[in-house]
Amino acid sequence: MIGRVVLILVLQTIALGAMVGMKQWTLSTGRPVLLETEPVDPRSLFRGDYVRLNYAISQIDVELVEGDDEFERHGDIFVVLEQGDKYWEPRSIHRQYPAVDEDLVVIRGEVIGTGGPTFDPETSELLPGSSVLVGYGIENYFVPEGEGRALEQPDAGQIDIEIAVDRAGNAAIRSLIIDGDVRYVESLL
């Protein structure tokens, strides 16, 4: 009996440890990438406050980047990022992991939706052309209770996100930066 319970606990602990380990692997081995973002909708009913992050690379105009044109909903997408003036920007999109130069980064995502015109957040206008909506698994960032709503306010300041992208294209949020000040930094403990 004791042996079986210990085995259950070992297996369940390994599963939980693997969740943390995979994330830490990405954070410790991944290349740093700074992304432009805009926080929206900061509340989880069950898990407290969080910042819902909408990145500039979350919606990509297929006609403005190189690579593949057609993607399947909920399928994999690999976005090649290049360093811009301040932020990293999409250069090409692919259905398979592409071979790239060392100065570029490949981030893996899931196609949330395809088609439809591009939305310009600055002018609130719809731009012509087809786009692809991408989720990278870095769209939610949990913050102390009450701070999520504050971050959503227009006067919260410029919010940037530094992520780490590992060799397989997996991404993890490394830090949340407000007006150039690093506010939340990820650590193991």
Partner 1 sequence: MNTGRFVKRLRDELPIWQERGWVTEDNGRAIIEYLEAQQGESRHLPTAIAIFGVLLLGAGVITWFAANWTGIGKLVKLMILLGSLYSTYAIAAFLLRENRYTRTGEAVLLLGIILFGANIMLIAQIYHIDAHFPNGILLWALGGLVTAWLMKSAPAMVATLALGCLWTGSETIGFGRVHWWYLLLWVAILPAVYRWQWRRTFVFALVTLALWSVFTFPAVDADFGTGARLFLMQVYFLAYLAIFIIGLLMDNWSPAERFARAVQGLGIIGTLTCGYALTSPNLQSGSFGYYEAAHRQPADDQWILLNLVATAVAVLLSGWHYLRTRHTETSKWFEYGRLVLAAALVVMIVSLFVDGVHGGPLAIVMNVLFFAGVVWLVYAGMQMGNRLLVNLGFVYFAVTLLTRYFDTFWTLFNRSLFFMVGGLLLIVGGYWLERQRRRITSGIIADRRDAS
Comparing CB distances to partner 1, the nearer of 26 and 92 is: 26
Comparing CB distances to partner 1, the nearer of 15 and 99 is: 15
Pairing of strands 125-127, 140-142: unpaired
Q: What number of residues does the chain have?
A: 189
Stretch that binds partner 1, among 43-51, 77-85, 94-102, 114-122 (CB under 8 A): 43-51
The dihedral formed by the CA atoms of 118, 67, 139 and 82, expressed in degrees to the nearest 10: -100
Longest Cα–Cα distance of the chain, Å, equals 65
Q: Show the CA angle centred on residue 181, arms to residues 177 and 182, nearest 5°.
A: 55
Report in angstroms how near the CB of residue 172 gets to partner 1 at its nearest: 7
Binding mask 54-83 for partner 1 (x = CB under 8 A): -------------------xx---------
Report in angstroms how near the CB of residue 164 gets to partner 1 at its nearest: 12
Tell me if 16 contacts partner 1 by CB under 8 A: yes
Q: By CB under 8 A, what part of segment 91-150 binds partner 1?
A: 110, 137-145
Reduce the DSSP state of residue 18 to 3 states and report it: helix
Comparing CB distances to partner 1, the nearer of 80 and 161 is: 161
Phi, psi (degrees; rounded to nearest 5) at 101: -70, 165
**Cα distance between the two ends of the chain:** 33
Tell me if 9 contacts partner 1 by CB under 8 A: yes
d(CA 79, CA 132): 11
Residues that bind partner 1 (CB under 8 A): 1-2, 4-5, 7-9, 11-13, 15-16, 19-20, 23-24, 46-49, 73-74, 110, 137-145, 172-173, 186-189
